[in-house]
Chain A
Amino acid sequence: MPGLNELLRKGDIASSHRPWPRAVVSVEAWHEAIAGLAGGQWLLLGLWGEPDRVHMALRDETDETVAVVTLDCPARRYPSVALHHPPALRLERAARDLFGLEPTGLPDLRGWLDQGNWGVRHPLAAAPDPAPIDKAYAFLPIEGDGLHQIPVGPVHAGIIEPGHFRFTANGETVVRLEERLGYVHKGIEGLMAGATLEAAAKLAARTSGDSTVAYGLAFALAVESALGVEASARAAWLRALMAEMERVANHLGDFGAICNDASFSLIQAHCAVLREKVLRTAQSAFGHRLMRDRIIPGGVTCDIDADGSAAIRTLIADIEALFPALVELYDNTASLQDRTVTTGTVKPHLARQYAPGGYVGRASGRAFDVRRNLAYAPYDKMRFDVPALDAGDVNARVWIRIREIEQSLALIAQLLDGMPQGALAIELPQDRGSCEGLSMVEGFRGDILVWLRLGAGSRIGRCHLRDPSWFQWPLLEAAIEDNIVADFPLCNKSFNCSYSGHDL
Chain B
Amino acid sequence: MRKLLFQSLVQMSLTEPAPPADDAALKEVGQALANVARRRLGRSLSIREVDAGSCNGCELEIHALGNAYYDLERFGLRFVASPRHADVLLVTGPVTRNMRVALERTWNATPDPKWVVATGDCARDGGCFAGSYAVAGGVSAVVPVDLHIPGCPPPPLEILRGLLALLEAGAAAKI
A187 touches B132 (CB 8 A): yes
Kindly provide the distance from the CB of A62 to the nearest chain B CB, expressed in whole angstroms. 36
In the complex, which residues of chain B have a beta carbon less than 8 angstroms from the beta carbon of A498?
Answer: 56
Instruction: Tell me, yes or no, whether A464 is within 8 Å of chain B by CB.
Output: no
Instruction: Tell me, yes or no, whether B32 is within 8 Å of chain A by CB.
Output: no
Chain B residue at smallest Cβ distance from A332: B1
B56 touches A162 (CB 8 A): no
- Give B132-174 as 1s and 0s: 1 = Cβ < 8 Å from A's Cβ atoms: 1111000000000000000011010000000000000000000
A159 touches B79 (CB 8 A): yes
A212 touches B128 (CB 8 A): no
Kindly provide the distance from the CB of A275 to the nearest chain B CB, expressed in whole angstroms. 7
B56 touches A209 (CB 8 A): yes
Chain A residue at smallest Cβ distance from B50: A155
Instruction: Tell me, yes or no, whether A375 is within 8 Å of chain B by CB.
Output: no
Kindly provide the distance from the CB of B38 to the nearest chain A CB, expressed in whole angstroms. 25
In the complex, which residues of chain A have a beta carbon less than 8 angstroms from the beta carbon of B127?
Answer: 206
In the complex, which residues of chain A have a beta carbon less than 8 angstroms from the beta carbon of B81?
Answer: 157-158
Kindly provide the distance from the CB of A190 to the nearest chain B CB, expressed in whole angstroms. 6
Of the candidate stretches A118-126, A433-441, A454-462, A477-485, the one touching chain B is A118-126
B59 touches A266 (CB 8 A): no
B134 touches A190 (CB 8 A): yes
Q: How far is the CA of A191 from the CA of B133 in the complex (A)?
A: 9
B99 touches A162 (CB 8 A): yes
Q: How far is the CA of A499 from the CA of B54 in the complex (A)?
A: 10
Kindly provide the distance from the CB of B126 to the nearest chain A CB, expressed in whole angstroms. 9
Instruction: Tell me, yes or no, whether A329 is within 8 Å of chain B by CB.
Output: yes
- Near A by CB (< 8 A), chain B positions 90-143 give 93-94, 96-102, 106, 127-129, 131-135
B68 touches A186 (CB 8 A): no
**Interface footprint category on B:** 35 or more
Query: Which of A207, A208, A272, A329 has most B Cβ within 10 Å?
Result: A272
- Near B by CB (< 8 A), chain A positions 265-288 give 266, 269-270, 272-273, 275-276, 279-280, 283
Chain B residue at smallest Cβ distance from A132: B97
In the complex, which residues of chain A have a beta carbon less than 8 angstroms from the beta carbon of B100?
Answer: 117
Given A154-B99, A157-B82, A289-B61, check contact A209 B153 (CB 8 Å).
yes
B132 touches A273 (CB 8 A): no
Given A159-B62, A209-B60, check contact A276 B69 (CB 8 Å).
yes
Instruction: Tell me, yes or no, whether B55 is within 8 Å of chain A by CB.
Output: yes
One of A123, A157, A206, A207 near B133 (C-beta < 8 A): A123
Given A123-B133, A162-B102, A186-B94, check contact A206 B55 (CB 8 Å).
yes
Chain B residue at smallest Cβ distance from A160: B59
In the complex, which residues of chain A have a beta carbon less than 8 angstroms from the beta carbon of B56?
Answer: 161, 208-210, 498-500
Instruction: Tell me, yes or no, whether B87 is within 8 Å of chain A by CB.
Output: no
One of B106, B134, B153, B155 near A187 (C-beta < 8 A): B134
| 19 A-B pairs whose Cβ atoms sit less than 8 Å apart in the complex | A123-B133, A154-B102, A155-B50, A159-B79, A160-B51, A183-B99, A184-B53, A185-B98, A186-B134, A186-B135, A188-B132, A191-B129, A202-B128, A209-B57, A210-B60, A280-B18, A290-B57, A290-B60, A500-B56
The 6 closest A-B CB pairs, nearest first, are A209-B57, A187-B132, A187-B134, A157-B81, A272-B67, A209-B55
Given contacts A117-B100, A275-B64, 15 further A-B contacts (CB under 8 A): A118-B133, A155-B83, A162-B99, A182-B98, A191-B132, A206-B129, A209-B56, A209-B57, A209-B60, A209-B153, A210-B60, A212-B57, A276-B69, A279-B64, A280-B18
Task: Tell me the A residues contacting B by CB distance below 8 Å.
Answer: 115, 117-120, 123, 154-155, 157-162, 182-188, 190-191, 199, 202-203, 206-210, 212, 253, 266, 269-270, 272-273, 275-276, 279-280, 283, 289-290, 292, 325-326, 329, 332-333, 498-500
